[in-house]
Amino acid sequence: MSSGSGLGDSMEFFTPGVTYDFFKYRWRFIFTSLGLCFLSLISLFVPGPRFGIDFKGGTEVEIEFKGDVSSSELRKAVIDLGFGQPDVISTPEVKNRYILRLEQISSLPPQVIKQAKEKLDQGLGESKLLELTASPGGDKLSIRLTGASDADQIKGVLAGAGLKVRTVSAFGNPQDFRYEAQLVGIGDKLVQGLQEKFADRAPDGPRRVEWVGPKAGAQLRDAAIKSIIYAIAFIMVYVAFRFDLRFAPGGVVALAHDALITLGVYVVLQKEVTLGTIAAVLTVIGFSINDTIVVYDRIRENMGRMRDAPLAHIINVSTSQTLGRTVITSGVAMISILGFFFWGTPLIRDIVFALMVGFLVGTYSSIYVAAPLTEWMDRRFFRKA
């Protein structure tokens, strides 16, 4: 026997030539899948997904420490300061520089803005207020006056309106008399708390503060849902052309099954749903359809070789023949991401968790969702024709 043949034999996890009767237990697994899908669908409404700032809005703060601070140490400090469960992202290019994503925003109430307008209109002498605009994140005011004014005077007037102002500076064309007031916001409060906890290692101030509003988050959420629907729809078209119509519904139902259960597990465990989660679900869809296509391809080959055999028997034979490949592929994929699950940051661990659930469900659905539905389509429509 050649060395190549020996290597092939050593990779066999299941006895070659043995046909396992998967169809014998299909109804048990089908009802299990239906139950899991139903529970997952209910969980999307009760308790509902816990969206991250990508979808519901929040604040992103970039800071740089003067000394060594680990991401786990920083995360614990931010939680202790009362900022909820933050995403802590390290920047590989600069040591001890982090991006923090917080759920809070420092939006200004309408009555505060109204009071600031009144104070500016009355407290700047001959200069009158033409326009006052507050940034959606509540950390910046854009001011336009009828004439020039002193930055310190504007700062004092705003302080009299109850606003905490960091700096006031003129910007744009000097003839427009425009000023920008930087307010003390979430980033400043966060840095102030970190300075108390880390002393000489703490940053002097936030390098960058950006805001994501609920409206932008809703648009991202809708785009994420559409991306999953479009992916499944185009895969259905591909399968229909690659094989024939009896195969497409099984593949699409299996993909929807995988995505729904993965999201359902995420929601039940109240893990934060972010754009990373959606990327993980799309990865699961790609992994699942790859495994399903392998099984479908073997079924089509065996349909030509076993013309008189019922499709249920052909599916049993085909699935048994590809079982070793399925186990090896899924096993290697799981092993390759386990390291990230145990030693990655919380954000990475949540994404890897979605991949692990999806890989398991995707492997199972190729055998007990896609194949049985294909057999039913063949028996119900194509065999009569």
In the predicted model, what is the mean pLDDT of residues 26-53?
Answer: 89
Domain 17-51+214-382 shares a fold with domain 58-106+187-212: no
Question: What per-residue confidence (pLDDT) applies to 357?
Answer: 92
Answer yes or no: are the C-beta atoms of 14 and 323 closer than 8 Å.
yes
Q: Kindly state the tokens that stand for 136.
A: 């959606």
Q: Kindly state the tokens that stand for 89.
A: 């992202």
Instruction: Answer yes or no: is pLDDT of 138 > 80.
Output: no
CATH architecture of 17-51+214-382: Up-down Bundle (1.20)
Please report which confidence band the pLDDT of residue 1 belongs to, taking 50, 70 and 90 as the band edges: very low
CATH architecture of 110-184: 2-Layer Sandwich (3.30)
Q: Kindly state the tokens that stand for 133.
A: 């605009």
In the predicted model, what is the mean pLDDT of residues 254-280?
Answer: 88
Fold observed for domain 58-106+187-212? Alpha-Beta Plaits (3.30.70)
Please report which confidence band the pLDDT of residue 43 belongs to, taking 50, 70 and 90 as the band edges: very high
- Is pTM beyond 0.85? Reply is no
Instruction: Answer yes or no: is pLDDT of 261 > 90.
Output: yes
Q: E-assigned strands of the chain?
A: 50-51, 58-64, 87-90, 97-102, 129-134, 140-145, 165-170, 178-183, 208-212, 272-273
Question: What per-residue confidence (pLDDT) applies to 169?
Answer: 86
Q: What is the DSSP string of 1-70?
A: --HHHHHHHHT-SS-TT----GGGGHHHHHHHHHHHHHHHHHHTTTT--EE-HHHH-EEEEEEE-SS---
In the predicted model, what is the mean pLDDT of residues 156-169?
Answer: 84
Spans of all domains in the chain? 17-51+214-382, 58-106+187-212, 110-184
Instruction: Answer yes or no: is pLDDT of 378 > 50.
Output: yes
Comparing 95-109, 295-309, 346-360, which segment has the lowest mean pLDDT? Answer: 95-109
Please list the helix, strand and coil fractions of the chain in percent, rounded to the nearest 5, in that order. Answer: 60, 15, 25
